[in-house]
Homo-oligomer: A and B are copies of this chain.
Amino acid sequence: MNTLKKRILDRIQPDLALIEEELTRNLEPHIPLVSHVAKYIMLSGGKRIRPVLMILSARICGYEGGYDKTLSVVFEYLHAATLLHDDVVDGAEVRRGKPVAHSIWGNPATVLVGDYLLARAISIASKTEQVTIIDTIASVTADMSEGEIHQLLHRGNLNLNEAEYMEVIRRKTACLIQGACRVGALLAGAPEDKVQALTRYGYDLGCAFQLVDDLLDYTADDKILGKATGTDLKEGKMTLPLIYAMAQASDKDRHRLATIIRDGARNPEDFSTVLELVRKHGGITYTENRAREHVGRARESLSVFESSETRSTLEDVAHYVLKRET
């Protein structure tokens, strides 16, 4: 483990332990199926980045109450609900090296447990009795769900451009992370400039997080990633490395890429060909640079806060997004 990761983990260890407790405590104990499916999806290597960010955001705004740990699970439940429904939607078979939930429990249970987690999330949020918090979470949920539909409709759309892609990843990933940071600030009753700063931090961090995710699907080591690289390509998902390369490529190379994408990249050598062309036309470097810019902006947003251990942890988290291998 690298030093950065170790430093972050050391600092958030006490929070992580309490988050785990709350994740279990807030599930309906009388329906073992819910616990099984929910824990299966939540325990399969998740990083708890969303709850951690909510807690750190509340803390940097001086929150001293006791509801942060409970409220933080909202963001893990919403994330898990999306993963469960995504797996049904994508028909994927493996996530993080394990069979997906619907291949074990079937579509019905997977859909319903996703619904349950969504409902629990809203229910926990409503217990804050803070309308701004509830409204943020409600909007995030609506935004994410529209994003999922957009993504479904854009599948196999070779003409997806960078702006449309950024809108897809904003809805798919950034808005939930942004929501977690914003809600942390709101829970602490922070002044507007700090709420805004953390909202921006969350947005940029979320964009960087997804950009790196999409990069890893091209560049990662399968064993470390826990799933096969090239999955997005096979599912017809156009991500920035490919979008940029297509835009830069010669007509001949663009045609080669388009043919492979349309055919669903079925041959084993297809992915190597695409990766080679994506590298050749600068798709990897361009995406890395965009991710780095977002991380830079995320860190800049923290400048309204005085130096503190919490600020330094939030900066480290942003920095780590660029370094992660899974």
A122 and B138 contact, Cβ closer than 8 Å, known pairs A31-B146, A145-B115, A149-B116: yes
Annotate A103-140 by CB proximity to B: 1 below 8 A, 0 otherwise: 00001110111011011101101110101001100110
A153 near B31 (CB under 8 angstroms)?
yes
Min CB gap A108→B, angstroms: 4
With beta carbons under 8 angstroms apart, the residue of B125, B134, B135, B138 that contacts A119 is B138
A153 near B28 (CB under 8 angstroms)?
no
Chain A interfacial residues counted at CB < 8 A:
40
Determine how many copies of this chain the complex contains: 2
A150: Cβ under 8 A from any B Cβ: yes
B116 near A89 (CB under 8 angstroms)?
no
With beta carbons under 8 angstroms apart, the residue of B109, B131, B144, B150 that contacts A152 is B109
B107 near A119 (CB under 8 angstroms)?
no
B148 near A119 (CB under 8 angstroms)?
no
A33 near B123 (CB under 8 angstroms)?
no
A111 and B138 contact, Cβ closer than 8 Å, known pairs A31-B150, A126-B131, A146-B116: no
A163: Cβ under 8 A from any B Cβ: no
B142 near A119 (CB under 8 angstroms)?
yes
A240: Cβ under 8 A from any B Cβ: no
Chain B residues contacting A109 (CB-CB under 8 Å) are 149, 152
B108 near A107 (CB under 8 angstroms)?
no
Q: Closest B residue to A113 by CB, please name it.
A: B149
B142 near A134 (CB under 8 angstroms)?
no
A116 near B134 (CB under 8 angstroms)?
no
Annotate A275-311 by CB proximity to B: 1 below 8 A, 0 otherwise: 0000000000000000000000000000000000000
